[in-house]
Amino acid sequence: MFSQIFLILRACAASVGLIIIGVFYSTLLPAAEDAVTESVLNETDTSLSFTDYIFPETYFLKIGDNPLLTFAESLLVFAAVLLVVYALWFLQKPKVNTLSGAGFKLLNLNEQTSFIPLKTEVQSLEFLAKIQTSNKYRLSANLNRVTLTPHQNTFLLEDKNYKNALLINRRRSHRTILCDNDVLDVGEMTLLYCNNDVPAGKIQRTARMDYQLPVSGVKPKGPLQKGTPILTPAGSQQDIQLVRNMNTLGSSNFNDVIISSDQVALRHAKIYKVGQSWKIQNLLNHETTTVNGRRIDQRFLQDGDEIAVGDTSFKFRISKVQTKQTRRPRTETAKKSVKT
Amino acid sequence: MKSIRTLYYSTLGLLGGLCGWALMQSGFHVFDALSAAGIPGLNIVWLNKFIYEGALIGLGLGMLLQARVSLWYHHDLVHIMSKMLFGAVVGSATGLFCFGLGHFMQTWQISPILSRLTSWTLLGLFIVGTTEYLRSHSGILWPRIISGGIGGFIGGGIFELLMLYQMSGPEHLYGLILAGFSISLLIGLYENRVTSFALRVLSGKQEGQIFLLDQNKFSLGYGSQNDFILNGYAEVCNLHAHIYKKDDQVFIENTDADNEVFVNYRQIDQQAMKKGDVIKIGTAQLQYYEI
């Protein structure tokens, strides 16, 4: 048994060796064969090499007989193919519509009407029933009781009749300030709120970072309302207004308050509204957030509290006066709506 | 969406055939020039025109078929170029192998038609097989390879018929194009048949992109080895989440405890998805659909 395997292996090794020799010395072999054939048989064509015995030259497509294109032309065809592939790639690029202003996007599948712009005035959600859609969606009957009120840069959504099945970010809510990329479910419709004026993740950092504390936040365009919380970094005159209902603090660019520090996590803490008061919550167990020198997990905030996130400390204030209009004159209706 | 994708794939197949043809035309000139130069070491490379032609066909087809997914999902150009280069190498290797086998069959006194058909079928099998094997987590391996093989067989059949009736046009152009077309059409048809779920990107740079779930398992993240690449979003990890099908349900799974995956604004580790769910990965928002 063993001797047979050994023999087979030896035969294999010998044939492999022969092939290698034939492959690498195929030019030498004809000369050797010449000598052999001339001396012994003197009959065969001497041009055959070793590889020609294994691979007699056959054609598959016989293109070699008469190529249609010259070398340059064929390369041009190849380049044209690559160009068409690039065109296909480019066509597949998703189209991004950069519309200004706030509006809704209809998220239901097969809908072509992508963007529904919103006017800066008090309005009810009734207009949703009038939009041209490819499918009919069931909406609740009393959408006229759901109002959109302009609020700083964005809208305040209020459901005055609590019976509407209205979900904001997949949660029941009656009164919400809409942020960019909020998902709104109204009956069977799914809407995405887009605010291109203040898109999420495009928070303006202060231009002169060198002498200011490396903390930056949202710069709201509208007037400051009464009751808006303000964070003041320790040892600076900078005021950061928290204009959203939920504000995140951290070192990532996508927070509402960006703290560029090694001791602060990407998303470190959040300050959010609970009823009329504000609450702070630490978001990571292994990071520290302190209020008045005490490490906390979550805690209600009072006016004048000292908050420390990582190694950066803030003073928390709640603004008591409504500041004056800074930019963009508002319409009469908008003013009324803020007071109501 | 499905029919557009089938069209897209078959267009790619046509282009692959044309590409192979152009390469062969240029390849002959290279062959000619090199044999005229008479460099001794190259004898082995050009040892047989049959295999050489096979390698060039494999190069053309493999280059486009490997890059088909990246092209469809509009990945970065660098990523597509690397895929194409890889496909070209793999495709030419497969072409060498398959047509080499076909050639050996010819030397064993098997009719040339049969050996050519076998070569084409093997090419279809292997070109799809290498793609799917290297993306080893795809989950649907064998049906895809077999559909590629059937495509290759049909392509070879078309080729032979055209040869038989002398209809192969300018130097076998039609035959090659139709063979490439049938291989990629068959793959596209199979992949679309199993697709019934999709993810759509709602916001940001890739807004409007639709990811079709045509495999059993997917990876989602920032890195270029993923099936679905989320590029241009903050806080997306290299390999962020896995999506897999199980018992007619689609699950999303967080890969790492450091990542955050939200389904309907609730943080999850692993969850079955329903129609209309909003998934949040980093700052990217995706919506889940059933088609």
* A184 vs A336, more confident: A184
Structure tokens at A177: 């300030």
Q: Are B244 and B216 in contact (CB under 8 A)?
A: yes
CA distances from A84 to A92, B71, B77 (A): 12, 12, 14
Mean pLDDT of all residues belonging to chain A: 73
Chain B interface, best mutation among A29, A57, A63, A73, by max B CB count within 10 A: A63
What are the tens digits of pLDDT across the range B151-161?
A: 999 988 888 88
Measured between CB atoms, which of A60, A81, A105 is closest to B15?
A81
Of the CA atoms within 13 Å of residue A143, those in its CB half-sphere come to 17
Lowest mean pLDDT among A325-334, B72-81, B232-241: A325-334
Chain B residues in contact with A84 by the CB 8 A cut-off are 15
Average pLDDT over residues A39-45: 46
CB contact under 8 A, A49 and B28: no
Q: Which of A208, A302, A300, A205 is nearest to A258 (CA)?
A: A205
CB contact under 8 A, A84 and B40: no
Please indicate if any CB of chain B lies within 8 Å of the CB of A195: no
Query: With bands split at pLDDT 50, 70 and 90, how would you rate the model's confidence at B263?
Result: very high
Higher pLDDT pick, B108 / A205: B108
* Mutation site, A61, A77, A91, A114, interface B, largest B CB count within 10 A: A61
Kindly tell me if the per-residue pLDDT of A67 is higher than 70.
no
CA distance A321 to A340: 17
H or E element at residue B271: strand B270-272
> What pLDDT is stored for residue A206 in this prediction?
41
> CA B2, CA B6: separation in Å to the nearest integer?
6
Highest-scoring range by mean pLDDT, A112-116, A177-181, B120-124 = B120-124
Q: What one-character-per-residue DSSP string does A289-300 give?
A: EEETTEE-SEEE
* Token pair 């963009």 in the structure block, residue: A328
φ/ψ of residue B290, rounded to 5: -115, 130
SS (H, E, C) B182-227: HHHHHHHHHHHHCCCEEEEECCCCCCCCEEECCCCEEEEECCCCCC
Quick one: pLDDT at residue A258? 84
More confident residue, A205 or A302: A302
Q: In whole angstroms, give the CA distance from residue A261 to residue A259.
A: 6
In chain B, residues 112-141 whose CB comes closer than 8 Å to chain A = 116
Whether the predicted pLDDT of A25 surpasses 60: no
Task: Supply the ipTM of this predicted assembly.
Answer: 0.83
Q: Hey, are the CB atoms on B54 and A60 less than 8 Å from each other?
A: yes
| Greater model confidence, B46 or B109 | B109
pLDDT for res B168:
60
Are B95 and B55 in contact by the 8 Å Cβ rule? The answer is yes
% of chain A surpassing 70 pLDDT? 64
- Chain A, window 126-155: residues with a beta carbon less than 8 angstroms from a chain B beta carbon: none
Least confident of A31-45, A111-125, A142-156: A31-45
- Only one residue has tokens 């047979």, namely A4
pLDDT at A337 over 70: no
B56 or A25, higher pLDDT: B56
Q: What is the pLDDT of residues A248-289, one digit of tens each?
A: 888 887 788 888 878 888 888 999 888 888 999 998 888 889
pLDDT of residue B252: 93
Contacts of B82 (CB under 8 A, 6+ apart): B224
Alpha-carbon gap, residue B23 to B57, rounded angstroms = 8
Best mutation target, B26, B122, B172, to test chain A (most A CBs within 10 A): B26
Q: Are B160 and B113 in contact (CB under 8 A)?
A: yes
Mean pLDDT for all residues in chain B? 83
Considering only CB atoms, A94 lies closest to which of B47, B48, B74, namely B74
Q: Which residues touch B65 (CB under 8 Å, ≥6 apart)?
A: B12, B13, B16, B87, B91, B127, B128, B131, B183, B184, B187
Whether residue B2 contacts residue A51, with contact meaning beta carbons closer than 8 Å, is answered with no
Strand order in the sheet with A146-151: A123-124, A146-151, A154-159, A175-177
